[in-house]
Chain A
Amino acid sequence: KQEVTQIPAALSVPEGENLVLNCSFTDSAIYNLQWFRQDPGKGLTSLLLIQSSQREQTSGRLNASLDKSSGRSTLYIAASQPGDSATYLCAVRPANAGNMLTFGGGTRLMVKP
């Protein structure tokens, strides 16, 4: 069974710092990996989608990498801002488990002004 782990569970940084969120998964047989943002009491907003054949994706200050063979992905946030404060979730779509997006537990990020 695919398991997804996110470390750290919580992170507090001062504004302006560059930071890295980590996601690891146990089974490398995946179609893709998707990073989401969730604000308190809200739904999930898709940030980046990396297909299994890709190494990274970039959107603005966000860069996500994927190392499928080692079961790891990182989300890099450059020049963090207070508005980046949210919970960040990664999810993998296993290649052999039908339609289950398997989620990590999330990293709760606080960027202090």
Chain B
Amino acid sequence: IAGITQAPTSQILAAGRRMTLRCTQDMRHNAMYWYRQDLGLGLRLIHYSNTAGTTGKGEVPDGYSVSRANTDDFPLTLASAVPSQTSVYFCASAPSEAFGTEAFFGQGTRLTVV
């Protein structure tokens, strides 16, 4: 089934550890995004990529990094996890960043930092 695949689905991580959340899409979408969803704060954009080879910072980028080596993959890395990064992380994609194309979301990764 075409769409966005995130891995892992959930993870408990010790503070200070490094972790990479994986995101793969098979729709050949140019634009990809990482959001975090927190109770009371809604969904907030962490990083985005308009096309392979480019990335940009969203609303809450600190403590996170991304790369976009190809069209399909957009991994999110926490270099040294902290408890405030406990959240549900969603990867999304859209055909283009321009003019209001529809965004599609993955099923999420539930991350707990202890």
Contacts and interface: CB of A to CB of B under 8 A. Distances in A.
A96 to B, nearest CB: 13
A39 to B, nearest CB: 10
Interface in A36-67: 36, 41-46, 49, 51-52
**A-side interface size class:** 20 to 34
Prevailing SS type, chain A contact patch = strand
A43 B25 CA distance: 15
B70 interface: no
A100 B103 contact: no
Interface string A79-113: 00000000001010100001111011110000000
Interface in B23-69: 31, 33, 40, 42-45, 48, 50, 56, 58-59
Interface string A9-50: 000000000000000000000111010100001111110010
Interface stretch (B14-22, B76-84, B105-113): B105-113
A94 to B, nearest CB: 10
B103 A106 contact: no
A108 to B, nearest CB: 12
B30 to A, nearest CB: 11
B42 A100 contact: no
Given A42-B108, A98-B56, A99-B31, A105 B103 contact: no
Interface of B: 31, 33, 40, 42-45, 48, 50, 56, 58-59, 90, 92, 97, 99-100, 102-108, 110
